[in-house]
Amino acid sequence: MARSNRHLGARPVVRIATAGVALGVALMILASAIVQGFQHEVKQLVVGFDSHIQVAPSDPSADGLVWTPGMLDSLRQLPGVAQVALRHERAGILESPQALQGVVVRGIDSTSILDRIEAGLLRGHMPSTTDRGPRDILLGEPLAQAFDVDTGDKVTLYLVLGTEDIRPRPMRVSGIYQTGLQEFDQRHVWIDAAQMQEAAARGAEAQIVLNDDDTGQPTRAVGQVFGRDPRGLGWRGRWAKSGHGRRSLGLQDLSRRTTHLWIAGTGTLADTAQLWWSEGQWQTSVSEGSHQRVADGYDVWTTSLEDIPEIQESLFRTIPYDWSATRVDQQHPEMFSWLRMLDLNVEVIVGLMVLISIVNMTSALLIIMLERRAQVGVWKALGMTDQAVVQTFMWHATRILGQGFVLGNAIALTLIAVQSHWKCVPLDPEAYYVDAVPVLLDAPRIASMELAAFGLCVVAMLLPALWSARIRPSRTLRMS
């Protein structure tokens, strides 16, 4: 039957049906690849700012947590965990002579993972994290344009530590970055985490001041305490093994053979300053404070986005009961809900393409059967059963569908390869977050989608093929 179509009017119909099926299949594959590519790119952008899972205190009023190297190692050793970093985040207000805007202040330390930010660095450099370095700040390109500033310019950053506690910090713009995710670029700024920890003073800092007499000789050692405890109250200090809780000690009463300790605070956030006799005079140590042991949480990256729920359960079994582990899709539900809604577009497109393919094939099959009435009549007159005739037309329809699917795959895969390599179709990053149409080929998903579509089309051909069973040899032979 297929060979004889060359000599009948059904040949253009077969070509049109094949082309229609091929176009539908190509559109299905392209729609799936584009949506998956877009979802993947946007998810990677979001994860560039926020990790896969964030570990933080469950109590919203808690002012951070005390981090330990042991907890870092425990989290890093969990199966499926790729990287773990400390999280430093504060509300802030950025000010320049041109503008004033609220921002999210993120801190950078030795554990930070900033591959996405560094890849999007347009000019300048990342903020310095050295002790003697300048107070650098990294701004997103949209924010820099709104404030009309560039690298080297001065701005003022107000760190919001409480409803009535706002600390101004003069900053220098060290760099400008752009990731393409405008909602994040225009409100996230990055500074050295040590500056945030020092300003927040969420630990204790012990200091010893030597008071001099009228002759300029030190006579008393006074212990001082700075910082605040987790409840926001000031710490208390004490002299170890001496002083009975007094802050001030007379130096003439102290042994010059012993190192005297002034302890500020309690527990894991306690800090110690030392006082000792050396080289004919009393010496004091300079304490760095325990505020460096406080962070806002842990950032956890997994080896695969699909494993996030399982790793979240593992984290709950590892962290203290008063901590929480929140997935990135729970942190930004509006973004991920929107991405999930894109799957509906693919389902609608697939449904429409399958419907169009069924209509095309039904029309083509009916036209072929009308032109083959005489031949079918001869078959039945020679003893061919209705079931065999229906199977013949079903096989013919399946063959046409198969050709269309093969041609559609060839067209779609070629276009995907061209777009993936040369980025021929550009996009506006401000509207779509990416500068070109992204494509991601998920072979198992596309194969299952095509098998389902092919099966539906083949089953749908059964109804028009059954019409061939109504052809009567007596009528068709008289008409011929």
Domain shared by 343 and 439, yes or no: yes
Domain shared by 169 and 144, yes or no: yes
Question: Quick check: 101 pLDDT over 80?
Answer: yes
For residue 335, what pLDDT is reported? 86
Query: Domain boundary residue among 331, 359, 393?
Result: 331
For residue 8, what pLDDT is reported? 45
Domain shared by 169 and 211, yes or no: no
Question: Quick check: 480 pLDDT over 60?
Answer: no
Question: Quick check: 134 pLDDT over 80?
Answer: no
Question: Quick check: 2 pLDDT over 80?
Answer: no
Where in the sequence is the domain holding 274, given as residue range(s)? 204-289
Whether residue 151 contacts residue 124, with contact meaning beta carbons closer than 8 Å, is answered with yes
Residue 366: other Cβ atoms inside 10 A: 16
Domain shared by 113 and 65, yes or no: yes
> Per residue in 8-64, pLDDT tens?
445 688 888 899 999 999 999 999 999 999 998 888 888 877 899 999 999 888 889
Domain shared by 365 and 261, yes or no: no
SS3 call for 25: helix
Q: Count of residues for the chain?
A: 480
Sign of the Cα torsion 17, 19, 23, 26 reads positive
DSSP per-residue string spanning 276-304: EEETTEEEEPPP--SGGGEESEEEEEES-
Domain shared by 363 and 381, yes or no: yes
What pTM, to 2 d.p., does this model score? Answer: 0.81
For residue 428, what pLDDT is reported? 85
Domain shared by 323 and 429, yes or no: no
Domain shared by 75 and 35, yes or no: no
Domain shared by 380 and 469, yes or no: yes
Domain count, the chain: 3
DSSP per-residue string spanning 316-344: HHHS-TTEEEEEHHHHSHHHHHHHHHHHH
Domain shared by 343 and 359, yes or no: yes
Question: Quick check: 5 pLDDT over 50?
Answer: no
Residue 391's pLDDT band, with cuts at 50, 70 and 90, is: very high
> Per residue in 105-121, pLDDT tens?
999 999 999 988 999 99
Domain shared by 280 and 245, yes or no: yes
Domain shared by 216 and 247, yes or no: yes
